[in-house]
């Protein structure tokens, strides 16, 4: 109960701080880790490791320090983003927060890490993808600002899972085929029979045990979970339905192949930057389709992979006929072949060109209305 109440309070603080975007003083992405010593009043925490200081005797502090740095370096080297806010925001981490606190959380200004209760969850600094997931909430706050409820909230959670996984893959230099696509594989204790908290590759299959039941995440729209937009309802199921866009990213990444941060990652990142706060799944799907065309060419293999992925999770791209055959299924069932794959690429190019024309027409109509 203490973990749930504290998490709700921190989420509220994160929402308030997000409204003051740009207020934080630039700090060149400098890291500082503090030790809460099982307290929950952050100003009372003691310094554990500064950016230019020696390693700490506390391994939790060192793991937090390294996780903050790897996430910062990933965004810098892959997307030329200067820290979380794009302005060199300093990265402060707080370890040993509270007593048996089963969570790690970005509160809009800093990262907090619980030690876990030792029975279900272990030290939350032990998972790089969890650290990157939480810090990516900060990236989302300073870009699209997806509202934290219903589909926009599920997109918020999905973006954090996507880039949390990419940070881990980038640090290990793993291809899309080699990656495990798991979030939080390192946080369960040995006594819990579970692979991870979530799986992008197989939503709904991250765990299945007597204590927690079966992973409830859906992997397609026909399995969408409708929950009330309340704290008890997970703000409309944001942690549940994020499995749908998660699966779409996984399918895009493996459809393109190679390192996921080199093609699929930029498509999602550029789409995040131009998305609105109230974006729905179909809005984001359409944006990724357009961005794939802009980045890699209309009708390219990358754009075709995006189209096939969203169709696989039953989310149509606006302007794309529902009868378009999925390239992924063609290859899987043996009825595809080069000719049909080329045909899909040609159709994708035509659809992309039509979509671009429709977008331009809509802008022209709005501009005309504005002059009246």
Angle at 262 between CA 258 and CA 265, to 5 degrees: 110
Q: Is 341 exposed, middle or buried (0-12, 13-18, 19+ CB in 10 A)?
A: middle
> CA 354 to CA 352: how far, in whole Å?
5
Strand, coil or helix: 200: coil
Alpha helices in the chain (DSSP H): 2-18, 59-79, 128-141, 150-172, 234-241, 243-256, 264-274, 281-296, 301-312, 327-333, 338-371
The backbone torsions φ and ψ at residue 89, rounded to the nearest 5 degrees and listed phi first, read: -50, 135
End-to-end CA distance of the chain: 57
Question: What is the Cα–Cα distance from 171 to 198, expressed in whole angstroms?
Answer: 20
Is 312 designated active site?
A: no
Rg (CA), the chain: 21
- Going by the DSSP 8-state scheme, the letter that residue 268 receives in this structure is H
Report the alpha-carbon distance of residue 134 to residue 293 in Å, rounded.
30
Q: Are 158 and 152 spatial neighbours (Cβ–Cβ below 8 Å)?
A: no
Judged by DSSP in three states, 349 sits in helix
Which one, of 183, 178, 86, lies nearest residue 132 by Cα? 183
Contact criterion met (CB below 8 Å) for 107 and 101? no
Report the 10 Å Cβ neighbour count for 154.
29
Q: Residue 19, class by beta-carbon neighbours within 10 Å (0-12 exposed, 13-18 middle, 19+ buried)?
A: exposed
Say which DSSP state 84 is in: T
Task: Return the half-sphere exposure (C-beta side, CA atoms, 13 A cut-off) of residue 66.
Answer: 15
Contacts of 210 (CB under 8 A, 6+ apart): none
Catalytic residue from among 147, 239, 286, 302: 239
In the annotation, is 226 catalytic? no
Q: Which candidate in 96, 134, 286, 312 is catalytic?
A: 134
User: What amino acid positions are annotated as catalytic residues?
Assistant: 134, 239
């Amino acid at each position: 109960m203490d973990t749930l109440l504290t998490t709700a309070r921190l989420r509220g603080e994160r929402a308030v701080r997000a409204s003051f975007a740009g207020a934080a003083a630039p700090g060149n992405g400098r890291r500082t880790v503090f030790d809460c010593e099982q307290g929950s009043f952050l100003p009372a925490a003691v310094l554990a490791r500064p950016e230019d200081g020696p390693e700490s005797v506390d391994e939790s502090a060192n793991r937090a320090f390294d996780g903050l740095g790897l996430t910062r370096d990933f965004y810098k080297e892959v997307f030329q983003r200067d820290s979380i806010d794009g302005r060199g925001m300093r990265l402060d981490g707080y370890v040993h927060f509270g007593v048996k606190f089963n969570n790690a959380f970005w509160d809009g200004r800093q990262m907090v890490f619980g030690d876990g209760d030792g029975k279900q969850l272990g030290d939350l600094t032990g998972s790089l993808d969890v650290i990157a997931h939480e810090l990516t909430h900060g990236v989302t706050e300073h870009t699209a600002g997806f509202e934290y409820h219903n589909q926009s909230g599920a997109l918020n959670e999905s973006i954090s899972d996507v880039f949390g996984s990419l940070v881990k893959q980038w640090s290990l230099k793993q291809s899309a085929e080699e990656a495990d696509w798991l979030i939080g594989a390192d946080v369960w204790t040995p006594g819990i029979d579970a692979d991870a908290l979530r799986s992008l590759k197989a939503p709904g299959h991250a765990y299945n045990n007597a204590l927690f039941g079966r992973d409830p995440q859906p992997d397609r729209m026909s399995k969408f979970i409708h929950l009330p937009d309340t704290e008890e309802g997970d703000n409309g199921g944001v942690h549940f339905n994020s499995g749908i866009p998660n699966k779409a990213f996984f399918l895009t990444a493996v459809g393109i192949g190679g390192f996921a941060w080199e093609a699929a990652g930029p498509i999602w990142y550029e789409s995040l930057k131009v998305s609105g706060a109230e974006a729905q799944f179909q809005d984001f799907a359409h944006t990724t389709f357009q961005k794939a065309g802009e980045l890699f060419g209309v009708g390219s293999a990358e754009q075709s992979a995006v189209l096939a992925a969203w169709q696989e999770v039953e989310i149509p791209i606006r302007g794309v006929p529902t009868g378009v055959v999925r390239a992924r299924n063609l290859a899987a069932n043996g009825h595809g072949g080069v000719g049909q794959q080329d045909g899909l690429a040609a159709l994708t190019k035509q659809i992309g060109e039509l979509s671009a024309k429709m977008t331009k027409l809509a802008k022209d109509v709005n501009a005309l209305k504005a002059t009246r």
